[in-house]
Amino acid sequence: MDKTTAILGGVYGVIIMSLVLIFVLAPAKTDAAHQPDTTYGIINQFNPNLKGSLNLADLFAKSDEGVVQIIVRKSNDSSIDRDIGSGIVYDTNGHIITNNHVVSNALTIRAVFHDGQSYSAKVIGTDTFADLAVVKVDANPEIFHPLQLGDSSKLRIGDEVAAIGSPFGLTGSMTSGIISQLGRLLTPPDASSFSIPNVIQTDAAINPGNSGGPLLNMQGDVIGINTAIQSGTGEFSGIGFAIPSNTMKRIVPVLIQDGHYKHPWLGISGTSIDPDLSSTLELSVQNGFLIQDVVPDSPAAKAGLKGYKEIKTIDGVKYKVGGDMIIAVDGNSVEKIEDILNYLQDQRSIGDTITLKIIRDGKTMDVNLILQERPNRAQ
């Protein structure tokens, strides 16, 4: 699938590359906001979904109790080095949502609440493909103040948002900004060939240690979980990414019940078609997805989808050409790979039959395909 370079984030010792994704988990040794014009009780005249908007101070007061700092030790070293992330209180049973990359390979995990109280936590479910995890704290239900998961499908570019977490280990920190784009692809660090679809892009400042913390709308609903930044230095440069709340709603209950989430899988790789690529390769369409490789024994292979027939070199660049071109899935037009991935994650499950409209050798046809579970390791 479409790949995005991902680098684990840290305060120290990061590999500096130009425009790489930094998953914002901070190894730490120690523990100017954009003010919206809306006030409590005002209905946004441009977006009627935004009722009862809070100012930033009230938003923080409402939400801070539902955010925890996650402290992870991944070795028995007695030094003070540890990894720092954030978490979202999910329910009064002690379940806390965070990122998988925050708690992966952890020997010990502690959750520190807003009042400074610290509790041991254990992992009960992980999903490397969506970079989500659930940990559980056994404590009095009165200490848990769950945050409500909002509807990320209602987000619009320009909506105001705020992030709460522990950047660089600084607990209870809040930043604000806007939704700067929707529907991005993000590659988790432990499954580099599978992209997380439909990711939220924001300019709210997110730094190492924010991973696993909430991205909130101005009503205090969680509309995303902060996960990564795009940066050339390892620190925030204006582009952050959050896994949408609707993805969390679909996956988190399954992680709590089963410990694992089964993602639907096609078993193809290739490239999105745009007008430039279409012109270069002399394709019959300007948008869609060009299949280059089909994984043996995958749903795509069983349905008879075809990969590239030959490799052409054009202006010194090699292209795999001649494969099927996907232009629609279940009647929904496909302009790029994101359209397929978003549809599968949000609306389809293992065992579902989908219909792909493809172009093969100049002819348009429908191909039915039964979705299978994505393999444990990217193929």
Active-site annotation, residues: 101, 131, 211
Question: For tokens 């010792």, what's the residue?
Answer: 13
* 3-state SS assignment for residue 56: helix
Q: For residues 230 and 135, what is the distance between their CA atoms, to the nearest angstrom?
A: 27
Query: Which residues partner with 123 through β-bridges?
Result: 135
Decide: 295 and 327 in contact? Cβ < 8 Å.
no
CA 96 to the chain's CA centroid: 17
Question: In 3D, which of 289, 315, 254, 293 has the Cα closest to residue 378?
Answer: 293
* 3-state SS assignment for residue 246: helix
* Cβ atoms within 10 Å of 210's Cβ, excluding its own: 35
Burial track 281-296 (b if 16+ CB lie within 10 A, e otherwise): bebeeebbbbbbebbe
Decide: 206 and 180 in contact? Cβ < 8 Å.
no
Q: What is the distance between the terminal CA atoms of the chain, rounded to a whole angstrom?
A: 10
Question: In 3D, which of 225, 200, 221, 207 has the Cα closest to residue 87?
Answer: 225
Max alpha carbon distance in the chain (Å)?
66
Is beta strand 20-23 parallel, antiparallel or unpaired with respect to 6-8?
A: parallel
